[in-house]
Structure 1
Amino acid sequence: MAEERSVACSDNQRITDYSLFFNEQTKLTKPAPVWRYVEQKSKTPTSGQVWMDGGLPNSIQFPLLKATLTLSDGEEVEITPAEMNLCLQYTSTKGMPKIRGWVEELYRRVHNPPTMDDGGLPSSLALLLTPGGRFGVVQALNMFVEDGGCFLAEEVIYQTISPTYLPRKVRGVPIRSENGGMDPVHLKQVLSEWNEGSQGRRPHLMYIVPSLSNPTGKTLSEQRKKDLYNVAREFNILILEDDPYYFLQSSLVPSFLSMDTDGRVIRVDSFSKTLSPGCRIGIVFGPKQIVDKMAIIQHPMTGGPSGISQVIISKVVNTWGHDKFLKHMEKVASFYKQRNDTLISYMEKYLIGLCEWTPTGGGMFQWVTLLGVDKSEPVVDRLMERGVFAMDGFIFSVDLASRPNIRLGFAQVSDEEMEKAISTLAGVLKEMRDIK
């Protein structure tokens, strides 16, 4: 069968053709005709160019001239008139070179991917900036999964992406997950027993949030990642590593990207949890053939991420340098660990015998199993009536089935608000279970 062409992948075999993974729409997607002008400009000396081909506004009409940013440590950073002029104009679809270069060096330091080279192979890594990390996840699902097809995922996943694939009748195939995260034994079982005659084409994309996961707060160990990666190699699966919480870990666990010898990992990252969600700057770092195709798709949709956001972030991180950025992230990770420790202290005070949980040790979310109830919806309804808001477990279910779980977000709430919420949850559960 045609679908079996890409099943086997031998040891130390870098992928050379990603079209085997692309769905039909992606295969048919071509660069917009205007790209021929961009290509030609790169071959012509800049000093001899006269641009009458584009629709760029005249920059003398831009009302913003310069700006000064004051950082939290009191340092001031200036956006010069030249930089302001640059960021207010249309920019490169892939992102501005200065910030892209900074991110590439960060990834070299932190992940040091085996395929990060200048070989120009389809599996050699390339970087794309996007309007938020979510864009990269959604586009990957759109590129690799056919309408009516499926992808591999944990039983509960990041819920905001589901409205983008459910209308296409795409479904997530749930892989069992326990305290260690996605179970590689169950993953292999599902793939080995897959019947294409009755189930359709076997999935060839795995979606996972491996660090301080949203919603469960779980972090995969290095060994668990290696085990999952080996299964992905055996069945030639691409791994969509959605990892915006990576730097919120107290101790950084090596990423899937860091162990990717084949070029099967597409890493999606973001500045949302490290610097600011409002800047809406995401990162896709993966095989060149995939990233180039995603840039072609992004060009007519968004034209690329915000120029002014790119310059703001670039000025901050280039002023700091990589070492100071990583020190900043250590401070942020410590802050969130303290918030989780405080939450757990209130849970131990009020919820023993009413709930079960495994402390996340940081991040932004705590996953809780409610005891004595079959589903979380009635509990959450009563909480909302009392002014306490938590996320239902069912909205994270890859199959949208009801679950006796809730997600507690602890990043922003004060100690007093935490205690109120947890004591209210205890009261609601006692009411529903008729506990005096």
Structure 2
Amino acid sequence: MTVAALPPARDLSHHLNEIAKNRFPSPLKDIFNYMGRPGMISMAGGLPHPSLFPFNELALQVYPPSTDLSEGVPPLGEQMSLTIPKYPSAKTDTSLTSILQYGNCSGNPALRAFLHQFTLDLYQPAYSDFQILLHEGNTSGWTKVVRLLLEPNEYILCEEFTFPSSMSVWVPMGCKAVPIKMDGEGMRADHLEEVLASWETTHPGTRRPHIMYIVPVGQNPSGSTMPAERRKEIYDLCVKYDIIICEDDPYTTLQYPPFEITDTPAPVAPKSGADFAASLVPSFLKFDYEGRVIRLESFSKTIAPGNRLGYFVANPLFTERLLRATEVESQTPSGWSQGIILQLLTTWGQAGYLTWLSRLRDTYQTRRDTMCANLAKVFKALPAASYASAVPGAEGIALYPSSTDSASIKPDQLPVASFTAPVGGMFLWIKFYLKGAPRYRELVAQGVEDPEKSFMDEFWTALADNLVLLTPGSYYTPWEGAHKLSTSARGAERDVGYMRFAFSYNSSDEMEEGIRRVEQVVKKLWAY
């Protein structure tokens, strides 16, 4: 099917908040449009003259897209040279005079054109008139979406565990989360349907949530990746209940095959760029025939976070309103970042960019495998489903003390922890079973109000004192209001706690030592 044969986005203007509805174009916009006319002498704009920029040329050495990232920095002779001259030349239209000047608030037109084609080819949106608008990274992009759609004191749908920074912009507005339960494949469609269908009964007189924030690949913190079938189920529910989906997807190209329990993982076999692209789970855009998905893309995980550069993929109504906000809030992402990323992507080409992404994915898969293998080496790692009597519904891998004889483990013997090896992203989300820890049982006996949090706080401190730093699971609890702070008040699962392990940064030796230090603390607290 060609783009021309696809339907345009549906009119979803009723989702705009009052601020977004009342934004008006910057009065300078018309002046900038006229400035490009041939022969125009403009004395209207306060533009610094480019001859006064103290930069004459930007020269960079970059990796070829096919670099084997497991071997470190490629030799200088194998690297590629990028140059951005002060003025346009026969070789390139990109110049310092353009990227360092006040620019189009939509972002560099050539970069947006590249990303539009990339989106069309890789994600295949199901409607014809999607647009690209650059932003300063997904945190900034999400902030703009909140200011576009949410009114004070509304509710927002999110996963059972969610990225803390995503809440910081709407909590001060008096908004509250509606957490949707998850499993190893992300947000559960059945629980979403249950919450939405019963809303008028459970929240009489309150507007049903009309915005969903979701991280469908390598979900932060759980590491879950949602398969295509479930995305379609959730999208259909969002059509049924008229919900806008904000798809925050910085890890989308970091998708891996399942991990098989082993303490010696096999080397990763590289794929071609085309095979890599074909292996990716589709974006929500693939199912979006109405334009109700606002996709947040970022170069933070694929190139470097310091670029502070990303982009929206959204329908024209939303991009136009987002642009009005951008004109007066942030204007445009850094010209340096736009120019460098543009030169890099056009030098690599789309095929080269896919090859780079494939090699990058292979490297992070190796890191994922290394962390999981170290856990299997330090603990006794067994299929969690085999011990469902002890942990009903457990998925993935159960961790027992290393001294345990697997043949002697009873079906109802509680493990120390369990996790689902992620098939995307940068994190392991490890669930600890607290009943096996004497200190936790002591806190329960003392009648401590929230023994789960109290124990996990002590656990985290003990880990830090043993020189290993993890992220506490409590950071990822969605804000439901001051009356739902404790585990029992939220109706959350009792007698468990979580820690997030990141495998993105450390070397193999550091991971091995870090997991060994974790086990030392676990051994002491669980008294085995």
Say yes or no: TM over 0.5: yes
Contact 1:341 1:361 in 2 (8 A): no
The 5 Å alignment of 1:11-410 reads 16-41=10-35, 46-73=37-64, 74-82=79-87, 83-116=95-128, 124-195=129-200, 198=204, 200-250=206-256, 251-351=279-379, 352-353=399-400, 354-372=416-434, 374-375=452-453, 376-399=456-479, 404-410=497-503
Contact 1:394 1:401 in 2 (8 A): no
Question: 1:396-422: per-residue Cα shift (whole Å, max 9, x none)?
Answer: 111365671111111110112112221
Instruction: Provide the C-alpha distance between the structure 1 equivalents of 2:486 and 2:308, rounded to a whole number of angstroms.
Output: 31
Instruction: Provide the C-alpha distance between the structure 1 equivalents of 2:373 and 2:10, rounded to a whole number of angstroms.
Output: 52
- Larger-Rg structure: 2
SS at match of 2:295: strand
Question: 1:85-105: per-residue Cα shift (whole Å, max 9, x none)?
Answer: 111111110100111111011
SS at match of 2:132: strand
Instruction: Provide the C-alpha distance between the structure 2 equivalents of 1:255 and 1:109, rounded to a whole number of angstroms.
Output: 12
The aligned amino acid for 2:459 is: V
Residue correspondences, number: 414
Instruction: Provide the C-alpha distance between the structure 2 equivalents of 1:424 and 1:21, rounded to a whole number of angstroms.
Output: 50
Structure 2 CA distance for partners of 1:28 and 1:46, relative to 1, 3 Å: same
SS at match of 1:164: coil
Instruction: Provide the C-alpha distance between the structure 2 equivalents of 1:423 and 1:195, rounded to a whole number of angstroms.
Output: 51
SS at match of 2:199: coil
SS at match of 1:207: strand
SS at match of 1:246: coil
| Residue equivalent to 1:420 | 513
SS at match of 1:248: coil
Q: CA deviation at 1:363?
A: 2.3
Question: 1:269-300: per-residue Cα shift (whole Å, max 9, x none)?
Answer: 01111111111111101011001100110111
Instruction: Provide the C-alpha distance between the structure 1 equivalents of 2:186 and 2:486, rounded to a whole number of angstroms.
Output: 19
Structure 2 CA distance for partners of 1:362 and 1:186, relative to 1, 3 Å: closer
Contact 1:365 1:409 in 2 (8 A): yes
| TM-score with structure 2 setting the length | 0.75
Q: Please provide the CA RMSD for this pair.
A: 1.8
- 2:525 is equivalent to residue 432 of structure 1: yes
Q: CA deviation at 1:345?
A: 0.9
Instruction: Provide the C-alpha distance between the structure 2 equivalents of 1:13 and 1:355, rounded to a whole number of angstroms.
Output: 49
Instruction: Provide the C-alpha distance between the structure 2 equivalents of 1:86 and 1:299, rounded to a whole number of angstroms.
Output: 18
Structure 2 CA distance for partners of 1:420 and 1:125, relative to 1, 3 Å: same
Percent identity of equivalent pairs: 30
Question: 1:333-365: per-residue Cα shift (whole Å, max 9, x none)?
Answer: 111111011100111122422211010134211
Which shifted more, 157-166 or 170-179? 157-166
Instruction: Provide the C-alpha distance between the structure 2 equivalents of 1:189 and 1:28, rounded to a whole number of angstroms.
Output: 35
Question: 1:124-172: per-residue Cα shift (whole Å, max 9, x none)?
Answer: 2111001112111121122111111111111111111222111111111
Runs of at least 4 residues of structure 1 off by over 4 A?
A: 12-15, 400-403
What are structure 2's unaligned runs of at least 5 residues?
A: 1-5, 65-78, 88-94, 257-278, 380-398, 401-415, 435-439, 441-451, 480-484, 488-495
Instruction: Provide the C-alpha distance between the structure 1 equivalents of 2:426 and 2:213, rounded to a whole number of angstroms.
Output: 20
Contact 2:299 2:309 in 1 (8 A): yes
Structure 2 CA distance for partners of 1:13 and 1:275, relative to 1, 3 Å: closer
The aligned amino acid for 1:243 is: D
Instruction: Provide the C-alpha distance between the structure 2 equivalents of 1:145 and 1:139, rounded to a whole number of angstroms.
Output: 10
Contact 2:12 2:292 in 1 (8 A): no
The aligned amino acid for 2:20 is: T
Contact 2:473 2:497 in 1 (8 A): yes
Instruction: Provide the C-alpha distance between the structure 1 equivalents of 2:9 and 2:204, rounded to a whole number of angstroms.
Output: 29
The aligned amino acid for 1:308 is: W
SS at match of 1:406: strand
Instruction: Provide the C-alpha distance between the structure 1 equivalents of 2:424 and 2:157, rounded to a whole number of angstroms.
Output: 26
SS at match of 1:240: strand
Instruction: Provide the C-alpha distance between the structure 1 equivalents of 2:80 and 2:27, rounded to a whole number of angstroms.
Output: 45
Instruction: Provide the C-alpha distance between the structure 2 equivalents of 1:18 and 1:359, rounded to a whole number of angstroms.
Output: 38
SS at match of 1:297: helix
